Structure 1
Amino acid sequence: MTTLYILPYSHESFIISHIFPLFLLPVIFIQYQKKKMATFALNKLFLPIVFLVLIIKVSQSKAALDARYYDQTCPEAEKIILDTVRNASMHDPKVPARFLRMFFHDCFIRGCDASVLLDSTPQNQAEKDGPPNISLGAFYVIDDAKAKLERACPQTVSCADIITIAARDVVAMSGGPFWNVLEGRKDGRVSSASGPINLPAPTINVSQLIQSFAKRGLGVKDLVALSGGHTLGFSHCSSFQARLHNFSSLHDIDPSLNSEFTETLRKKCLKPNKDRNAGRFLDSTASTFDNNYYKQLLAGKGVFESDQAIISDYRTRWIVESFAKDQTLFFKEFAASMVKLGNVGVIENGEVRLKCRMVY
């Protein structure tokens, strides 16, 4: 496992993990005991006083986040979350990838505000019931962690921070990088089923992907690095079957696919497909967080059309090649991009929910 202490400057697929490498869990626990949290300070601003109010307003949301946010109010917060996620993963190996997907789907829509956790009401259909989010799972693990945190330090740790910390933990427990999480997010009060429509679909091209990520303040390198989260992944046939049958007027099969890999996919996803659970792992090492995902893309074995597209565009291919050659580089950039995504849309006027499924 690679330990990275990041100092941040500030698909519609059912992702599941397979065989969980539990031998890594004690190592992660030791990291919690030994880590030295970095202190983040704002740079002094020497600007005319007329701009001071504006500067404070713009920087306020980032200033609210701190790697040592709970040191005094709930010093055991991260350990409680780690223990809960670890225990759940022992019983359900799908938990790690589910948390990674949950984090992305929460932060990418409205920012990291735990809106994806809210249940629908008679008056409102929530995010989790929007089409791309219906297959999200592991909400019960969040409920368990929140209940334990409320007993230890009532009304202190937000549900948004639980998701963010847990996403970091499952990556590290699966053999990926470890980084310090900036904490202090508040929980949002708004959740709409129309929100997930803005998630990048598995069929869009690179230009559309870049545009989608740019709206969240994320660059091309972030796009490619975060796509590497598919190393812990599985997709149902519905998300990629169009590549295998009647792809276009010229090609029955997507010509960018490796021919041998295509036959493997077609055996998994028959036409017509009557098995709703049929699908394919997005990475041949689906239980381990590594750079094998990028190696598969270069071999024409990307499951999603959007994944395979990033090797056909000059703006992204060189990054894929770099990550395929250098796993340490991938880990570093993935951790940095996760921190960056975790800072998207930090709200100032939210709440700390008593239960993550409802607003009080």
Structure 2
Amino acid sequence: MERCTCSSSSQITHIIILMCVFVVMSATLVHGQGTRVGFYATTCPRAESIVSSTVATHFRSNTAIAPALLRMHFHDCFVRGCDASVLIDGSNTEKTAPPNLGLRGYEVIDDAKTQLEAACPGIVSCADILALAARESVVLTGGRSWLVPTGRRDGRVSLASETTDLPGFRESIDSQKQKFSAKGLNTQDLVVLVGGHTIGTTACQFFSYRLYNFNGTASSDPSINASFLPQLQALCPQNGDGTKRVAFDTGSENRFDASFFANLRNGRGILESDQKLWTDASTRAVVQRFLGITGLAAFNVEFGRSMVKMSNTGVKTGTDGEIRKICSAINS
């Protein structure tokens, strides 16, 4: 927070003191990105419950919607901040970029938006719906809830060319750190947020290269546990179907828990970028915090904190941006 220096001299007037207080309060608002818990308490009291019930309804029909919505929020925040730009349709928008082609769950956001527009027209942003839906996805899979600051507004620009800000599945730890740091997120946030892979699946095409001719060695990635390798090769045969889905967190892909980190320790990480969290000493120290009896409790607490940090990345508030009527299109 910016520091305001106010002299204690009796000559300081009440007006100047009030000005100092105003400066401090303004700095706090800016550093908090202008969002707050309960933003819709008076303008749309049912906003959060509508999003919650909508996600729950879709989850009952398809549990895979939970990791999909969590991933979508992450992908939104890492490009232009958390402004729902990932939801916009059109040529050369973020949706059309390779890292986002596998995103799913748009219909859930659209469903929630339709209900919110009926209840509170023009009040609740698509960016806030996405942030709330991500929280509900964690809760529905057994994770701990957290308070979601709201008050975001929606962006009006979406460019496929800017998705290079997203970390890739072969990314080095140093590169991942740089991309997270650019969003105001530290090494612990990196490990914690990647821990979201405790739920969900990925496609063989994103890791099968580790199984057969890793880096031209005619062998597998040595960081893969030797006893785990045959299981992965059976799931993803060489020259097999690259679209086949495999769980990130073997044996616990539908439960938000800390077993993902135990799998990394045991050489059972699926993506190369995930397994590197254990092989790199700087991130291994954080992974170790989430192992053992106390690991799950610590992970749940830290995940909520890191999600709040990420969800305040580059947000638009006040008169910036807009409140879209339809999440897939900017207002005309």
TM-score by length of 1: 0.83
Could you say which residue in structure 1 is the equivalent of 2:9?
A: none
SS at match of 1:244: helix
SS at match of 2:151: coil
Shift of 1:246: 1.2
Aligned match of 1:221 in 175, 184, 188? 188
Could you say which residue in structure 1 is the equivalent of 2:316?
A: 347
Contact map agreement 2:94 2:162 (CA 8 A) in 1:
yes
Whole-angstrom distance in 2 between the partners of 1:47 and 1:356: 45
Contact map agreement 1:97 1:233 (CA 8 A) in 2:
yes
Q: 1:251 to 1:316 in 2, by over 3 A?
A: farther
- Residue 191 of structure 2 aligns to which amino acid in structure 1? V
Aligned match of 1:327 in 278, 296, 306? 296
**Pairwise mapping of residues 231-242 of structure 1 onto structure 2 (< 5 A)?**
231-242=198-209
Which is further off, 175-184 or 124-133?
Answer: 124-133
Whole-angstrom distance in 2 between the partners of 1:221 and 1:206: 12
Whole-angstrom distance in 1 between the partners of 2:148 and 2:2: 23
Contact map agreement 1:159 1:353 (CA 8 A) in 2:
yes
Could you say which residue in structure 2 is the equivalent of 1:36?
A: none
Whether 1:282 aligns to 2:248 is yes
Could you say which residue in structure 1 is the equivalent of 2:38?
A: 68
Contact map agreement 2:2 2:27 (CA 8 A) in 1:
no
Shift of 1:233: 1.8
Whole-angstrom distance in 2 between the partners of 1:119 and 1:57: 36
Whole-angstrom distance in 2 between the partners of 1:249 and 1:55: 58
TM-score by length of 2: 0.90
SS at match of 1:235: strand
Q: Which runs of 5+ in 1 are unaligned?
A: 1-42
Could you say which residue in structure 2 is the equivalent of 1:100?
A: 70
- Residue 4 of structure 2 aligns to which amino acid in structure 1? F
Contact map agreement 1:269 1:279 (CA 8 A) in 2:
no
Shift of 1:112: 0.4
Shift of 1:177: 1.1
Aligned match of 2:128 in 161, 171, 174? 161
Q: 1:230 to 1:166 in 2, by over 3 A?
A: same
Could you say which residue in structure 1 is the equivalent of 2:13?
A: none
Contact map agreement 2:88 2:158 (CA 8 A) in 1:
yes
SS at match of 1:259: coil
Structure 1, residues 58-116: CA drift from partner, whole Å, max 9, x if none? 84373521101100000000011111110011111111011000010000111100000
- Residue 334 of structure 1 aligns to which amino acid in structure 2? F
Contact map agreement 2:64 2:200 (CA 8 A) in 1:
no
- Residue 72 of structure 2 aligns to which amino acid in structure 1? M
- Residue 103 of structure 1 aligns to which amino acid in structure 2? H
Whether 1:181 aligns to 2:153 is no
Shift of 1:248: 2.6
Shift of 1:277: 3.0
Whether 1:252 aligns to 2:219 is yes
Q: 1:88 to 1:249 in 2, by over 3 A?
A: closer
Shift of 1:250: 4.0
> What is the identity percentage for the equivalent residue pairs of Structure 1 and Structure 2?
40
Q: Which runs of 5+ in 2 are unaligned?
A: 7-15
Aligned residues: 314
RMSD: 2.1
Could you say which residue in structure 2 is the equivalent of 1:83?
A: 53
Structure with the greater alpha carbon radius of gyration? 2
Q: 1:190 to 1:250 in 2, by over 3 A?
A: same
Structure 1, residues 253-276: CA drift from partner, whole Å, max 9, x if none? 100100121111111111212x24
SS at match of 1:89: helix
Could you say which residue in structure 1 is the equivalent of 2:111?
A: 144
Q: 1:197 to 1:280 in 2, by over 3 A?
A: same
- Residue 183 of structure 2 aligns to which amino acid in structure 1? R
SS at match of 2:79: helix
Whether 1:296 aligns to 2:263 is yes
Contact map agreement 1:61 1:346 (CA 8 A) in 2:
no
Whole-angstrom distance in 1 between the partners of 2:315 and 2:26: 15
